[in-house]
Amino acid sequence: MVNRVQQVRVGPRFGLLLILIALACLLYRYGEPGWLPGRVAPGVILEGHGVAGLSRSEVERHLNRLAAELFRRPRNAYLDPWTDQLVPESYGVQLDVESTVARVMGAPAGSRLLFDLVQLDPEITAVLFEQFTVQLGSYYTIYGGGGGRNINIELAAASINNYQLFPGELFSFNRAVGRRTIEKGYELAPIIVGGSVVPGLGGGICQVSSTLYNAVLEAGLEVVERYPHSLPVGYVPPGRDATVSSYLDFKFRNNRDRALLIKTACWGGRIEISILMQTVEAKNDDQNQGSS
């Protein structure tokens, strides 16, 4: 019996198909990137999770979801207004989605990758507070009588304690102190309205704004907005008061080339407000106030 080997002729198209299949097997075996156009190579691990075979848009969607979870906002250093304790800054973090996607899509098979994270720096660091050593101005007034007026004065004074003001920045008393509400602890006390003395929530805080006004004058800062009372007040000389209300504000600008710090202290019926200046030039013109 004679075995005959039958010859099969392979056409050019079939031969090309075999070559492509062999090439695909080699790419898969040796892990060259681009094993499938627009897909992540086999065996790629990103932060412990497999992402092989995903398209670019799928990787982007996956990372955009994670970005919100990974985001951490930086926190400025600040002095606690009640204890004067320095709370140091903390750094934030943000996922660089675009960079991470590019690395994932170009990674060889079997790669193990980590996220591309960007550190977010705080604007105000603890070093800044060590530089406030020059006193520009200081002023004190005497208060007493007890009751709600004392409480209101001490609350408002604490609100502006350790307030930082950078070069060119405008200080607003109403913005710094905020609304005077029962929830914040403010109480009824005498206020001056249209030439009459009547009970009002937050009565007494004008002594804080007036004390600050005199410290600002001592420091030679630019007064932008200031209103006198409609009646004389006993805690500052005539013409040296600054009334505030929901529609009247006291504002001044830091016209120095260095940052300023407002310090307030209340003890024994005395409120003292000092304005300190940074000993070195402010390096970051874009820094925002960090009041507490």
Instruction: Report DSSP letters for 196-235, one per residue.
Output: EEEEEETTTHHHHHHHHHHHHHHHT-EEEE----SS--SS
Q: Record the pTM.
A: 0.66
Residues 173-200 have a mean pLDDT of 92
In the structure, what pLDDT confidence band is assigned to residue 169 with cuts at 50, 70 and 90?
Answer: very high
Round to whole Å and give the CA distance between 126 and 130: 7
pLDDT, tens digit, for every residue of 26-83? 555 444 444 566 899 999 999 999 999 999 999 999 999 999 999 999 998 888 777 7
Residue 14 is predicted with a pLDDT of 58
Looking at residue 147, its pLDDT comes to: 85
pLDDT value for 13: 64
Worst-scoring range by mean pLDDT, 72-86, 246-260, 275-289?
275-289
Q: How many percent of the chain have pLDDT more than 70?
A: 83
Does residue 212 surpass a pLDDT of 90? yes
66, 117 Cβ separation under 8 angstroms: no
What mean pLDDT comes out for the span 144-152? 87
Pick from 194, 205, 228: nearest CA to 148: 205
Q: Residue 86's pLDDT is what? A: 84
Average pLDDT over residues 12-27: 61
Return the SS3 of 174: helix
d(CA 254, CA 260): 7
pLDDT band per the 50, 70, 90 thresholds, residue 6: low
Model pLDDT, residue 196: 84
